[in-house]
Amino acid sequence: MAHGITPICWGPLENRNPPLDRAEGKDYFGDMEESETFMGFERDAPSGQISVAEAAIRLGLDTFTVYSLIQRDRLSPLLDDDGEYVVSEEEVAALAQHRKE
């Protein structure tokens, strides 16, 4: 298998990712922490807009998932002056808002 990736196949549980709600769940996420920064060069998005990376942090997701939310029309992509897609801070807040008990 190319790139040393364990093949995914039907079969026993060994070599598979641990479930999220098991005891080792914390480590499972801990070792995959994403940088989410564009080192040293990051510039603030215009007011009311935030970068995809910032949206990911606020939602507790990774950037890949935020991009997929945009593609599924759960977030509207906005193109900033430099051609980068950003998202509305308000929409992100609405997606993250706690359900009222």
Give the pair of three-digit tokens for residue 27. 């480590």
| CB atoms inside a 10 Å sphere around CB 83 | 6
Give whichever of 19 and 46 is closer to another protein, judged by the CB atom.
19
Residue from 85, 88, 89, 91 binding another protein (CB under 8 A)? 85
The reply to whether 100 sits near another protein by the rule CB under 8 A is: no
Closest to another protein by CB, 7 or 47: 7
E strand map for 1-101: 49-51, 77-79, 85-88
Nearest alpha carbon to residue 53 among 90, 86, 93, 96: 86
Query: Please, which residues bridge with residue 88 across strands?
Result: 49
Q: Does 37 bind another protein (CB under 8 A)?
A: yes
Residue choice 24, 27, 41, 48 for contact with another protein (CB under 8 A): 41
Q: Does 78 bind another protein (CB under 8 A)?
A: no
Site for another protein contains 23 (CB under 8 A): no
